[in-house]
Chain A
């Protein structure tokens, strides 16, 4: 068994959270620069230039890229050979969020009840924490700052097996067309296919948080990812939905076995800021 001390984990998580709000992923910034070269519409170019200028201001002045510093989502893989000491993991994760949100002047964006009492919790908790047991003795924490805009445009459908590839494509396209400019294109698209109702949604989120621009290791699924990316960009929705060639920067798919009667499909969107990271202990 390997010991891992909570205060050490918490300190590292805090450092990552502070950076996530203010420092754009260099791979994303590069993709936006590339899009600026290929775009032909004036308004699309103007919007992409604005995004790049904003990323630089945020990085240089330690200011959030977006005022929606989001719900914080954690996907934690805990090695079965790990012994966690010195506190509660989930409590320290929430403490980390609470402290960073105060120290970095990030926005409190969580309400305590979805319908009957939408009072702000004032400290951006509770965070959303998914935990899984895996083999080995590492702790891997995937973190995303998930704004409301793109998350709200996400969707899940229990398709029929007979709907097939076309059915999946149509559902994905319909969702993205209906979303239009709302998720702040250029978007990242995470797709889950298979599993059951709840695991399919989580697959979509894991797909979104996979290292940006890495294709699915299976050739058939990687081909499907490229096909979808092309089709999505042919919609002409463009940056901020104001028209253009760059609607999505990446489409990433994760799959799982499913029931003989089912074909669950989930689509989780992220905005251009795509604030995500992976920390391994």
Chain B
């Protein structure tokens, strides 16, 4: 199992170095979005409304954190099951997202879309949320706070560990 440090946004040259099963330590910006935010993002894309962050080259983390204890940067945070976002993923990839982080398998349609769009799907460990939260340098709910834990959070992470699942 190779271990590679990657700075986001993902460059094509770095993507070319990756193989399935590799361990990746990600540093840079992740945007959290899960079920409700994905539904809304695709509705916005379809109706021509602006998404509240730049999707082109973005890294999307399927996650909804616990509230932050006072004096901490963020709550605990880990991946949610990716297959629930499969319906929306081809559109998100078409709009330019390059890195998807979640857990579990993807549909064949999503696998095709990931490959066609030169993106990558990474699996983070589920149920290791306290550990993963230590990789978060800053966290801010930047949009759709009405969705509570499902709001879009902009996370700056350092050495966030995950494994290459689909390339």
- Give bound CA distance, A106 to B83, whole Å: 24
Task: Please measure, in the bound complex, the distance between the C-alpha atom of A240 and the C-alpha atom of B132, giving whole angstroms.
Answer: 15
Residues on A with C-beta less than 8 A from B163 are 43, 240, 242
Q: Which of B76, B148, B149 has the most CB of A within 10 A?
A: B76
Q: Are A50 and B128 in contact (CB under 8 A)?
A: yes
CB distance from B48 to the nearest CB of A (A): 25
Given contacts A46-B23, A105-B66, A107-B65, contact A241 B105 (CB under 8 A): yes
B10 → chain A closest CB, angstroms: 21
Q: Does B28 contact A (CB under 8 A)?
A: no
Give every chain A residue within 8 A of B130 (Cβ-Cβ). Answer: 54, 57-58, 61, 63-65
8 Å CB contacts to B: which residues of A39-68? 42-43, 46-47, 50-51, 53-54, 57-58, 61, 63-68
Q: B105–A181 contact, CB under 8 A?
A: yes
Tell me the count of chain B residues lying within 8 A, CB to CB, of chain A: 38
B80 touches A149 (CB 8 A): yes
Across the two chains, which residue of chain B brings its CB closest to A106?
Answer: B66
**A196 sits at the interface (CB 8 A):** no
Q: Is the CB of B131 within 8 A of A57?
A: yes
In the complex the two chains form, is A50's CB within 8 Å of B161's CB?
A: yes
Residue B77 CB within 8 A of the other chain: yes
CB of A247 closer than 8 Å to a CB of B:
no
CA distance A66 to B127 in the complex (A): 5
A53-96 residues at the B interface, CB under 8 angstroms: 53-54, 57-58, 61, 63-69
Contact B104 A182 (CB under 8 A): yes
Docked-complex contact A120 and B127, CB < 8 angstroms: no
Interchain CB contact under 8 A, A149 and B131:
no
The reply to whether the CB of B63 lies closer than 8 angstroms to some CB of chain A is yes
Within 8 A of B (CB), among A170-195: 180-182, 184
Which bucket holds chain A's interface residue count?
A: 35 or more
Q: Which residues of B contact A69 (CB under 8 A)?
A: 66
Q: Which of B128-166 contact A (CB under 8 A)?
A: 128-131, 133-134, 147-150, 161, 163, 165
Known A43-B1, A66-B78, A184-B103: A108·B131 in contact at CB below 8 Å: no
Q: Shortest beta-carbon distance, A130 to chain B, in Å?
A: 25
Q: Nearest chain-B residue to A67 (Cβ)?
A: B129
Q: How far is the CA of A182 from the CA of B83 in the complex (A)?
A: 8
Type the 1/0 row for A236-274, where 1 means its CB is closer than 8 Å to any CB of B: 000011100000000000000000000000000001110
Give the distance to chain B from A72, nearest Cβ to Cβ, in Å: 15
Q: Are A107 and B64 CB-contacts (below 8 A) given A182-B83, A242-B163?
A: yes
**Binding-face segment, B49-57, B67-75, B88-96:** B67-75
The residue of chain A having its C-beta at the shortest distance from the C-beta of B125 within the complex is: A50
Distance to closest chain A CB from B131 (angstroms): 4
Does residue A152 face the partner (Cβ distance < 8 Å to B)? yes
Q: A233: which B residues are within 8 A, CB to CB? A: none
Complex CA gap A240/B23 in Å reads 14
- B81 contacts A63, C-beta separation under 8 Å: no
Contact partners of A241 in chain B: CB under 8 A: 103-105, 123
Measured in the bound complex, the distance between the Cα atoms of B163 and A122 in whole Å is 33
Chain B residues positioned under 8 Å from A182 (CB to CB): 81, 83, 103-105
Residues of A within 8 A of B104 (CB): 149, 180-182, 241
The answer to whether B131 touches A50, judged by C-beta atoms less than 8 angstroms apart, is yes
Tell me if B45 counts as interface (CB < 8 A to partner A). Answer: no
Query: How many angstroms from the CA of A275 to the CA of B126 in the assembled complex?
Result: 14
B21 contacts partner chain A, Cβ-Cβ < 8 Å: yes
Q: Find out whether the CB atom of A54 lies under 8 angstroms from the CB atom of B131.
A: yes
Q: Is A199 interfacial (CB 8 A cutoff)?
A: no
Given A63-B76, A64-B76, A64-B130, answer yes or no on A107-B67 (Cβ-Cβ < 8 Å). Answer: yes
A-B contact pairs, 20 of them (CB 8 A): A43-B21, A43-B23, A46-B1, A53-B131, A54-B125, A54-B130, A64-B66, A66-B129, A67-B63, A67-B65, A68-B80, A107-B75, A108-B148, A149-B104, A240-B126, A241-B104, A241-B105, A242-B21, A271-B126, A273-B127
7 nearest CB pairs, A to B: A184-B126, A182-B104, A42-B1, A54-B128, A63-B130, A54-B131, A181-B104
